[in-house]
Homo-oligomer: A and B are copies of this chain.
Amino acid sequence: MSQELQTAVVGATGYAGQELTRILFQHPRLKPPVLLAREGEETGEIASPVDGAPVPVHPFSWSTMHKKGVDLLFLATPHEVSRAWVPVAMRHGLRVVDLSGAWRLHAPENAAVYGFDDVGSAESDRLMSKAVYGLPELWGKHLPDAQLVANPGCYATSVILALAPLLKAGVVDRNRGIVSDSKSGVSGAGKEPTAKTHFVSVADNLSAYSIFNHRHVGEIVEQLELGAAELIFTPHLLPIPRGILSTIYLHLNREMTPFEVESLFQTFYSGKRWVRVFQTPKLPQVQFSLQTNYCDLGFCLAEDGRRLVLISCIDNLLKGAAGHAVQNMNLMYGWDEAEGLQ
């Protein structure tokens, strides 16, 4: 197989960036990725995740990218950095997969939650409307032509993939509200050491945080076309390194059988390589999808045929970040969506 594409990664040393770099180095379609460090980050060399040989990390510059012939740029950067750099990258003619939250929201009023001061400018608004939300199971057909792909948030991935089949089928009683009680491993909080990520704070513990005001709510309600009051999303910090489990509660607007619910999911995700629908009564667990790019979905329906509990699991660094980014790349270039991810 010819190695046809030159990628670059900014942010290769964060948790998602490390996973991404590892996958890109082993991807059969790619030349070795160019690694770039932002100001203040270490340049020099890191060990190749394939064979341990030294791999250079260049100081970030657009001219380096030109010289290296970069086609596709992955940004594993804070959202304010992505917000500033993506317009420049577009002007340089690069395609971009951005792993931050900078370009996920289309409605300016939603994007305001990030505090970007460019909201309302013509260029930003054009980019926001043109960015493809990188959830291939929903937007896959837009990826081949996408210039800018906004890779989804980890929590958002687990929630949207669980709810989309039911909401699009119109079987959810939205008036009664949807609850997503989500739990994430600590790598989701990033690599920076904080009081919150100290081992002693996390071990033997569980805590809820950002109730009613987590940033991922914006992309979830936008993607699912929900009213803000129709969803309660509560994230929790689990004493595990990685993995997300979302337990989602909703009422159906008509009585259904478990068979109907399962069929609805099976049909919706038919042909989708990276979603596994579990046969009831088997339920996903965090361990099952760890170290894979799968989103695992299962459910339990009450005897009344109305009250439904969904379980959705992903590895937050793969299907929730780096794996998802590679899946997006595969579809942007017309390759099998599993390439490099097995």
> Residues of A at under 8 Å CB distance from B?
15, 26, 50, 52, 176-177, 179, 181, 183, 186-187, 191, 193-195, 197-209, 211-212, 229, 232, 234, 236, 238-243, 245, 247, 249, 251, 276, 283, 285-287, 290-291, 300, 302-304, 307, 309, 311, 342
Contact = CB atoms under 8 A, between A and B. Distances in A.
Nearest to A186: B199
B208 A203 contact: no
Q: Which of A193, A197, A342 has the most C-beta atoms of chain B within 10 angstroms of its own C-beta?
A: A193
Contacts of A303: 212
B208 A247 contact: yes
Given A179-B179, A309-B211, A198 B198 contact: yes
A240 B193 contact: no
Q: State the number of copies, please.
A: 4
A203 B204 CA distance: 9
Contact of A238 (B206, B234, B249): B206
Contacts of A176: 176-177
Contacts of A181: 179, 181, 247, 249
A240 B206 CA distance: 9
A240 B239 contact: yes
Contacts of A311: 208
Give 4 closest A-B pairs by Cβ, nearest first: A193-B193, A181-B181, A207-B285, A211-B300
B199 A183 contact: no
Given A193-B193, A285-B206, A200 B177 contact: no
Contact of A290 (B179, B204, B212): B204
Contacts of A179: 179, 181, 249
Contacts of A52: 276
Contacts of A302: 212, 229, 232
A62 to B, nearest CB: 30
A206 B287 CA distance: 8
B193 A287 contact: no
Nearest to A299: B211
A16 to B, nearest CB: 12
A249 B176 CA distance: 12
A198 to B, nearest CB: 5
28 contacts: A15-B200, A177-B251, A183-B183, A183-B206, A186-B198, A187-B200, A191-B195, A191-B198, A191-B200, A193-B193, A193-B194, A193-B197, A197-B198, A199-B199, A200-B242, A201-B287, A203-B204, A204-B204, A204-B242, A206-B243, A207-B285, A208-B245, A208-B309, A208-B311, A212-B303, A234-B247, A238-B238, A291-B291
